[in-house]
Amino acid sequence: MSHIRGRLNKAVDKLVNKYTASIPFDWRLYQHDIAGSIAHAKMLARQGIIAPKEAESIVSGLKAIKDEIEQGKFQFKPELEDIHLNIEAGLMDKIGEAGGKLHTARSRNDQVALDLRMWAKEAIAETRNKLRGLQRALLDLAEANKEVAMPGYTHLQPAQPVLLAHHLLAYFEMLQRDIDRFGDCLKRTDVMPLGSGALAGVGYNIDREFLAGELGFSEISQNSLDAISDRDFVIEYEAAASLGMMHLSRLAEEIILWSSAEFNFIELDDAYATTSSIMPQKKNPDVAELVRGKTGRLYGHLTAMLTTMKALPLAYNRDMQEDKEGFFDSADTLLATLEVVTGIIKTIRVKKENMKQATQRGYLLATDLADYLVGKGEPFRSAHNIMGKLVSYAVQRGKALNELSLAEYKQFSPLFGEDAKSITTETSIAARDNTGGTAPKQVNKALARARKIVSGGS
């Protein structure tokens, strides 16, 4: 029987054990639980709540348990419910009576809040690093293909030419917002809840600032009821992770489209492609498809946790144990996705010529020709209309705009002159020369700015 069931006269039903145990997943908190307990034991001794000798034996017992866990020798018992009770019981077995003093001035409620915040802080740091890694890969690819032009799309219809580097830097921006968002999330996660007890605080003269210092927290929580029952930080991580995955799913979708025979803009490295069990010719972008697909799981975890927390009365309720699996899976999935997408981007082959050829189709210069007419005095709205008619004329004849003669142009507006013919993909791109535009001058500035971000501050 568990060491905390004094109030109850029977062992717990087997089925209940299985239903309520969190050890199958919260074992992952073992390092944080042990670090938290070591700090707590030290603090108890400093405050004269337990004897220094007792603290020493607790600390060495906990260290030994950590080694056992890492060597696969520690026996986790589901009847001990969770990681906290498993470690405490293991400690009592190992060091006897002193082990029973560790839980003085503490509850599992502040303990689990502490452990999970410590885990979250690490997950946030790792997520931000991996986001940065993907930013670097995108930036390298953009720099290596600085001059490459491609069609830009709206409605997935050819719209205006852009530089590939400009397109890639759009993702750099999204990832920068993700890094910032996780940074914001870190501020609210970096708050130390220990000392909140079960709900009301603890009746001992503890030193919460010392605990925060030992455990590397910037602040201590200010309300025990809130500290016990707050899982906002889990939800914030899941929300930021959902946004991050949404961005990655858009990149994945473009990788899928661009590697199709119809676009033929890129080729995936064989190490990042799969094949078909029946069609021998296939080279499939399954990895990118799974990035797109796994995004759904993260949205699910976010919705699940918001729903679990909805209308829960203060303070701790066991419902909150449901926080962990979705949280762990969100972080695991996002981290793995970031690694795999970084690998794709690092090894992708850009088919520059095909991108360039594609800029010759789809009447991408129609806006520039309308702007040309504006330059000759035509109001934009009527210039737009003239160009619409000209494009329709060219479409009917199966011709590109540059295949029409000047005489044909002049049928639509007498303002067209020989110089209309000097409008090209390159002049179109160079014309978008404001901050945030695709002109080489602007893109070079953006590349330099991005390089500075990845090689220094955030």
Q: Which residues contribute to the site for ligand ARG (CB under 6 A)?
A: 22, 26, 81-82, 108-109, 112, 316, 318, 320-321
Residue closer to ligand ARG by CB (options 82, 238) is 82
Residue closer to ligand ARG by CB (options 21, 338) is 21
Task: Tell me whether residue 221 is one of the annotated catalytic residues.
Answer: no
Residue closer to ligand ARG by CB (options 109, 330) is 109
* Residue 32 near residue 115 (C-beta atoms within 8 A): yes
Residue closer to ligand ARG by CB (options 24, 296) is 24
Minimal distance, residue 246 CB to ligand ARG, in Å: 29
* Residue 103 near residue 88 (C-beta atoms within 8 A): yes
Residue closer to ligand ARG by CB (options 29, 291) is 29
Minimal distance, residue 37 CB to ligand ARG, in Å: 14
Minimal distance, residue 158 CB to ligand ARG, in Å: 53
Q: Which of 92, 117, 134 is nearest to 29 (CA)?
A: 117
Q: What SS3 string covers the chain?
A: CCCCCCCCCCCCCHHHHHHHCCHHHHHHHHHHHHHHHHHHHHHHHHCCCCCHHHHHHHHHHHHHHHHHHHCCCCCCCHHHCCHHHHHHHHHHHHHHHHHHHCCCCCCHHHHHHHHHHHHHHHHHHHHHHHHHHHHHHHHHHHHHCCCCEEEEEECCEEEEEEEHHHHHHHHHHHHHHHHHHHHHHHHHHCEECCCCCCCCCCCCCCCHHHHHHHHCCCEECCCHHHHHHCCHHHHHHHHHHHHHHHHHHHHHHHHHHHCCCCCCCEECCHHHCECCCCCCCCCECHHHHHHHHHHHHHHHHHHHHHHHHCCCCCCCCHHHHHHHHHHHHHHHHHHHHHHHHHHHHHHCEECHHHHHHHHCCCCCCHHHHHHHHHHCCCCHHHHHHHHHHHHHHHHHCCCCHHHCCHHHHHHHCCCCCHHHHHCCHHHHHHHCCCCCCCCHHHHHHHHHHHHHHHCCCC
Minimal distance, residue 316 CB to ligand ARG, in Å: 6
Residue closer to ligand ARG by CB (options 106, 108) is 108
Minimal distance, residue 100 CB to ligand ARG, in Å: 18
Task: Tell me whether residue 413 is one of the annotated catalytic residues.
Answer: no
Minimal distance, residue 337 CB to ligand ARG, in Å: 26
Rounded to 5 degrees, what angle do the CA atoms 328, 330, 331 make? 65
Minimal distance, residue 171 CB to ligand ARG, in Å: 37
Residue closer to ligand ARG by CB (options 320, 358) is 320
Residue closer to ligand ARG by CB (options 217, 327) is 327
- How far apart CA 422 and CA 418 sit, in angstroms, is 8
Minimal distance, residue 213 CB to ligand ARG, in Å: 25
- Exactly one of 260, 276, 382, 458 is catalytic; which is it? 276
- Exactly one of 155, 405, 422, 455 is catalytic; which is it? 155
**Which residues form the catalytic set?**
155, 276
